[in-house]
Structure 1
Amino acid sequence: MGDNGSRRGAGRSPSMAQVAALAGVSHQTVSRVLNDASLVKEETRLRVLAAIEELGYRRNFAARLLATNRSRRIGMVTAHLGLHGPSMIALGVQEAGYAEGYDVSLVGLPEFSAEMLDNAVERLLDQAVEAIVVAVAHREAAEMTQSLQLSIPIVTVQGVLAGTPLSASIDQQAGAELAVGHLLDLGHRHVAHVAGPSDWVEAEQRRAGWRRAHEERGLLPGPELEGDWSPASGHRAGLLIADDPDVTAVFAGNDSMALGLLNALHGRGRRVPDDVSVVGFDDVPESAFYWPALTTVSQDFAELGRRALSLALAAVRGEDESTLDPIVPTLTVRRSTAAPAQPAG
């Protein structure tokens, strides 16, 4: 095997020193080329780039950090990326980071545990991130995040509790109040609720909004059934709701549970919205194509990502840390809601 083959076949990645040797320049010149310095002659720059290409050199992150004292990298920890909300929050933060010229290192947790969250933070610190965005909705995660003592800023964007410093969020309670208020204003008197898991902050806040909408109108809420965000749990709840003739409207904690709920109601011969109106939460792309098209709460995840990055970068610059007012979601009204067929008692 020739010289090139031996270089490419080596077990270790080529170093900056090897690039310098092949190009016949100094280590500092290679560093200048990598940092786009204007002091390097074009002929020299092309020679260094050719050596980089020949060796298959990948710029060493630590070298970049030493040269600039800035990694231009934001860390992010999230969980349950198979769900719409967490995945869209992660996408929003990543897109906002790229727009600001920052790489985003994402650590996704399949499930939440304190140990997993702690390990994820350690992994990101090893990458010399300038700040960490935490998007884990469990109450324990929110409490643990607030207690972390790090030398870099931590921004919370999911599972935000009242008084959480350096946080950006969407007002889950306000969104639930919009959804339930819509049903009550149509003439329904007692709205049932299929709630998310009790240890999720968002589920707790949506439940609070469901109750608050009734309290504001001097009404008692309908029955509450707990789900786990899945269509299957919505279907199980829907079978119980379908057997209760007093239920004329349901607020599902997310669109996936609303999908299962609709299936159960159809299967039991309960017409939507003629017999039972249904509202979801999230406005997933498919919700407009449910049968019937789902009335649901829309969240601006792109704006949430921009706010999170803005907070993180402001904190990195040493500016005052603050908590932004929550983003107020909107209600998208479709065909799954209508006035009750007969005035509810």
Structure 2
Amino acid sequence: METDETVDGQGPVKPATIYEVARLAGVSHQTVSRHLRGNGGLKAATVAKVQRAIEELNYSPNMAARSLRTRRVYRIVIIVPEATQYVPVRMLNGAAAAAHEAGFLVDVIALEGSAATRSNRLLSLLGSEQLAGVLSFVPLGSMQKHLDAAHSGLPVVVAGEYDDRMRARGTLADGAAAARIVEHLAALGHRKFFHVAGPEQWPSARNRRAAYLEAVEQLGLTSAGEYQGDWSAESGHDAGLNLPVESGVTAVFTGNDQMAIGLMRALHERGFRVPEDISVFGWDDLPESRFLVPSLSTVSMDLEALGRLAMTELVTVVQGKESPKGSAEDEKLPLMDLVIRESTGPARR
């Protein structure tokens, strides 16, 4: 049976109340409640004071009581891939923080196996419980119809999907930085490229590939081929073992850092030097990327902001507000910066 925490054996410590949060923040309890519901209109300074008080008191809203009182559901599910390194923890943290600040509880479900296995596991875990919404960092594909059938009318946001004009709706799918990578390498004298792409079902992989191919064509360069990876270092290693270096390729753009790491290992095993023989560019700026030998050139993103943006879109739908579209949403996108390190250099003569 659960009990309240104790302090130095002095008995149970009662959880903080919304009134104690209000008193510490110097605002009314109605203001705290408004903040927890995610209502807009509060001044930034007020939001900051309330959030500091919540964190200092370790306040957690009683969602069960709120649900009974308001007849609303406060549970949001986040779906991630089996190997969560493909959705960085920082992005997951940003999404969870945005949900908590809006007054929602969060459950995380990791999917693995075949498409049928993933669908069955998802429906089994979600069961018949009421949900406020679902945020997926995984392309749902055929799972979407099963989810709709089991939870009719459930708000679902897939991070990195496309809008009805086939334009990336922010978050993971924005591949614009791929063109900047090609431009940077071309300025170093590279003329023949190779691309190691992520899985086709991921909008982020398709968008990065499309931006890469468009930039190569516009600059009058050559793409010597592509390899379909699965985001893993193993698939990058396989790509490196089969890279047609003899065709004159001098630069490789990989869809993420893990594949770039595997690729560089394979090139080392084949006796090629990075970047003297082959320049390699990754994507994601993993913490370990700067400690590689050579350190990896990559794309840095504000991952917390990306996670928050995706969750904010879902919360907006759950609360029955109009979801931002088009240029207004694009203006909110965090910048993606090229991080130039040792794995890229002038093209070999």
- Give the shorter-chain TM-score range: 0.7 to 0.9
Aligned pairs for 1:117-196 (under 5 A) are 117=119, 120=122, 123-124=125-126, 126-137=128-139, 140=142, 150-158=152-160, 160-163=161-164, 168-196=170-198
Aligned residue type for 1:333 = I
Q: 1:197 aligns with which of 182, 196, 199?
A: 199
Aligned residue type for 2:186 = L
1:226 aligns with 2:228: yes
Residue of structure 2 equivalent to 1:91: 93
Gaps of 5+ in 1: 1-7, 15-32, 39-58
- TM-aligned CA distance change 1:246 to 1:138, over 3 Å: farther
Distance 1:166 1:278 in 2: 25
Distance 1:125 1:156 in 2: 20
Displacement, 1:280?
0.6
1:238 aligns with 2:245: no
Residue of structure 1 equivalent to 2:28: none
Q: 2:211 aligns with which of 209, 218, 221?
A: 209
Distance 2:209 2:248 in 1: 20
| Greater C-alpha Rg | 1
Residue of structure 1 equivalent to 2:303: 301
Aligned pairs for 1:38-77 (under 5 A) are 64-77=66-79
Residue of structure 1 equivalent to 2:343: 336
Question: Is this contact kept in 2: 1:315–1:321, CA < 8 A?
Answer: yes
Residue of structure 1 equivalent to 2:278: 276
Aligned residue type for 1:261 = L
Q: 1:313 aligns with which of 312, 315, 318?
A: 315
Displacement, 1:292?
0.6
Question: Is this contact kept in 1: 2:168–2:174, CA < 8 A?
Answer: no
Residue of structure 2 equivalent to 1:253: 255
3-state SS of paired residue (2:182): helix
Displacement, 1:247?
1.2
- TM-aligned CA distance change 1:165 to 1:37, over 3 Å: farther
Residue of structure 2 equivalent to 1:81: 83
Distance 1:93 1:34 in 2: 25
Aligned residue type for 2:163 = A
Aligned residue type for 1:339 = P
- TM-aligned CA distance change 1:37 to 1:259, over 3 Å: closer
Deviations 1:282-330 (A, max 9, x none): 1111111111110011222211121123222222332112333255522
Question: Is this contact kept in 2: 1:74–1:133, CA < 8 A?
Answer: yes
Deviates further, 136-145 or 218-227: 136-145
- TM-aligned CA distance change 1:94 to 1:249, over 3 Å: same
- TM-aligned CA distance change 1:122 to 1:237, over 3 Å: closer
Aligned residue type for 1:67 = R
Deviates further, 110-119 or 230-239: 110-119
Aligned residue type for 2:87 = G
3-state SS of paired residue (1:155): strand
3-state SS of paired residue (2:171): coil
3-state SS of paired residue (1:75): strand
Question: Is this contact kept in 1: 2:112–2:118, CA < 8 A?
Answer: no
Distance 1:147 1:188 in 2: 51
Question: Is this contact kept in 2: 1:170–1:327, CA < 8 A?
Answer: no
Distance 1:147 1:218 in 2: 49
TM-score, normalised via structure 2 length: 0.72
| Alignment length (residue pairs) | 292
Question: Is this contact kept in 2: 1:299–1:330, CA < 8 A?
Answer: yes
Distance 1:167 1:148 in 2: 26
Aligned residue type for 1:161 = Y
TM-score, normalised via structure 1 length: 0.72
TM superposition outliers: structure 1 runs of 4+ over 6 Å: 142-149
Displacement, 1:336?
0.8
- TM-aligned CA distance change 1:202 to 1:170, over 3 Å: closer
